[in-house]
Amino acid sequence: MSDTSQPATSRVPEPTLHRLPDYYRYLQHLEEEGIASVSCSLIGRDLNMDPTLVRKDLESIAMVGRPGVGFRLNELIPGIGAFLGYNGDKRAVLAGAGSLGTALLGHRRFAQVGLQLIAAFDNSPLRVGERVHDVEVRPIQDLAEYVRAMDIHLGIITVPAEAAQKVADLMVEGGIRAIWNFAPVRLHLPPKIIVQNEDLYNSLAALSHRLAVMLSRESRGGKSNGVDAGGARIR
């Protein structure tokens, strides 16, 4: 049986939250191929994961398979989607219509998880007034007023680090409740504001370190078995 009621996110470990979108995309692919049910063993095999970990992840969001059947995709996919908040439309605004902002505005998969970018903001006169992937770029000074008028709760920041705090303050002033921050800086915001930081530099540093460890082992004649110094499998 499955229960699509959403448990409290605080009870679900952070690593599980990061794996759930991978399950969701994988299960959608299976459904597109006409598959009706799936087991933890199959998920683990195809995603190169321990089936026991898969089972624990799904049980943590109240998804439990049937003996001899496993999970029915028409229950499991909506269950994961409901927990992740993918159901229904979520309108959002983006600040920073440069290269990264433009790429995000054109990311088609956002629509599949209910995210709709309805406006972009920038401080460059060259960008203001343009339509980027059919989204209008507006002056950054209009951000707070627009967010308030449109009752938007989600904001995305792709401006340079030195401008990020000011932009975040404008978003909070307008009523934004959650910020997806791509700027390489930690924001100082009220505790009630949800912030997800995507630090590309930290990710690159971790990748660079793992590569250095692998090359060092190979230079010493050791065999790299696909596991880095921290014991994590390199995929």
**Domain 90-198 listed as CATH 3.40.640.10:** no
Give the pLDDT score at 89.
66
Do residues 205 and 219 lie in contact, with contact meaning Cβ atoms separated by under 8 Å? no
Q: How many CB atoms lie within 10 A of CB 81?
A: 21
- Stated pTM of the model: 0.73
Give the pLDDT score at 225.
52
Do residues 196 and 211 lie in contact, with contact meaning Cβ atoms separated by under 8 Å? no
42: left (phi over 0), alpha (psi -120 to 50) or beta: alpha
Do residues 95 and 122 lie in contact, with contact meaning Cβ atoms separated by under 8 Å? yes
Give the strand pairing for 135-139 and 37-38: unpaired
Do residues 171 and 143 lie in contact, with contact meaning Cβ atoms separated by under 8 Å? yes
The residue ranges of every structural domain in the chain are 9-84, 90-198, 200-235
Do residues 172 and 164 lie in contact, with contact meaning Cβ atoms separated by under 8 Å? no
Q: Where are the beta strands (DSSP E) in 183-231?
A: 194-197
Structurally, at CATH architecture level, domain 9-84 sits in Orthogonal Bundle (1.10)
Do residues 18 and 49 lie in contact, with contact meaning Cβ atoms separated by under 8 Å? no
For each of the chain's 235 residues, which pLDDT tens digit applies?
333 334 444 578 889 999 999 999 999 999 999 999 999 999 999 999 999 999 999 999 999 888 888 999 999 999 999 898 887 768 999 999 999 999 999 998 888 788 999 999 999 999 999 999 999 999 999 999 999 999 999 999 999 999 999 999 999 999 999 999 999 999 999 999 999 999 888 888 889 999 999 999 898 875 545 544 444 444 4
Do residues 130 and 154 lie in contact, with contact meaning Cβ atoms separated by under 8 Å? no
